Amino acid sequence: MEIKNKNVFITGSTRGIGLAIAEEFAKAGANVIINGRSQVTEEVLATMTAYGVQAVGVSGDISSTDDAKRMIQEATEALGSVDILINNAGITKDKIVLGMKEDDFESVLKINLVGAFNMTQAVLKPMTRARQGAIINVASVVGLIGNAGQANYAASKAGLIGFTKSVAREVAGRNIRVNAIAPGFIESDMTAGLADKIKEMMQAQIPMKRFGSVQEVATAVIFLASQEYMTGQVLTIDGGMVM
């Protein structure tokens, strides 16, 4: 799929992996819709328009059905269509399962999984009419192999992988592709707070012995968006954790 001039909505794209994905699409000539829970700053939009593309800020909470519908509508009004959706926004609330409150479990599922469902459902109607589109869900290797202290997060990402494969089957005949990426440990705000000792332990589990960068994840997303005969797949970007 030609990326140039396509309109790409990236959830949770004011920082981290989402911001890097947006910048990589802008570099490739795509117009980008930047989303955060609060208002998107002019600075972020200027980073994108510097590549000669259009950039629109749309604020809202993906875990709200109404916000999801409104955000897709606002993006469509601003740019004419949403051709590619990247379900990137996500949170962690790490605790061992014995100490996990119901709300710790539910709130992670509500954003990481229900949020992706809300956005997908909102975008699929116009994509189905247009008979073209691509959706990429940002899962995690934790959804494939689990992680102690992240049962809620792992369940949400494993759920997102099942969701990806099911929706891919539903819409393949409409020329809409649905894939997922599963990053390993990536340098971002999500991992910045980890204690050095924990980081060292995590690095020891990675065959390539280093965390990935947000740009490395972003280039894999561009590949999945442009590849025209792949659907229902999970691409790991993890320095060899899952082989």
Q: What positions carry a catalytic annotation?
A: 153
- For the CB of residue 2, give the shortest distance to ligand NAD in the complex, in Å: 26
* Closest by Cα among 156, 183, 174, 178 to 165: 178
**10 Å Cβ neighbour count for 54?**
16
Which residues does 169 contact at the CB level (< 8 Å), separation at least 6? 232
- For the CB of residue 5, give the shortest distance to ligand NAD in the complex, in Å: 26
Instruction: Give whichever of 37 and 70 is closer to ligand NAD, judged by the CB atom.
Output: 37
- Report how far apart, in Å, the C-alpha atoms of 69 and of each of 41, 166, 192 are: 22, 21, 32
The answer to whether 17 contacts ligand NAD (rule: CB under 6 A) is: yes
Instruction: Give whichever of 175 and 215 is closer to ligand NAD, judged by the CB atom.
Output: 215
Q: Is 179 helix (H, G, I), strand (E, B) or coil?
A: strand
Which residues does 15 contact at the CB level (< 8 Å), separation at least 6? 188, 189
- For the CB of residue 107, give the shortest distance to ligand NAD in the complex, in Å: 9
User: What residue type is 79 in one-letter code?
Assistant: L
The answer to whether 43 contacts ligand NAD (rule: CB under 6 A) is: no
- For the CB of residue 200, give the shortest distance to ligand NAD in the complex, in Å: 15
User: What residue type is 73 in one-letter code?
Assistant: Q
The answer to whether 11 contacts ligand NAD (rule: CB under 6 A) is: yes
Tokens describing residue 213: 């960068």
* Closest by Cα among 127, 125, 136 to 164: 136
- Per-residue x/- mask for ligand NAD, residues 182 to 221, rule CB under 6 A? -x-xx-xxxx------------------------------
The answer to whether 7 contacts ligand NAD (rule: CB under 6 A) is: no
The answer to whether 37 contacts ligand NAD (rule: CB under 6 A) is: yes
Cα–Cα distance measured from residue 37 to residue 57, given in angstroms and rounded to the nearest whole number: 11
When binding is defined by CB under 6 A, the residue of 9, 24, 34, 36 that contacts ligand NAD is 36
Q: Is 235 helix (H, G, I), strand (E, B) or coil?
A: strand
The answer to whether 91 contacts ligand NAD (rule: CB under 6 A) is: yes
- For the CB of residue 136, give the shortest distance to ligand NAD in the complex, in Å: 11
Q: What is the DSSP pairing of strand 31-36 with strand 234-237? A: unpaired
Instruction: Give whichever of 7 and 140 is closer to ligand NAD, judged by the CB atom.
Output: 140
Binding residues for ligand NAD, rule: CB under 6 A, are 11-12, 14-18, 35-37, 61-63, 88-91, 111, 115, 138, 140, 183, 185-186, 188-191
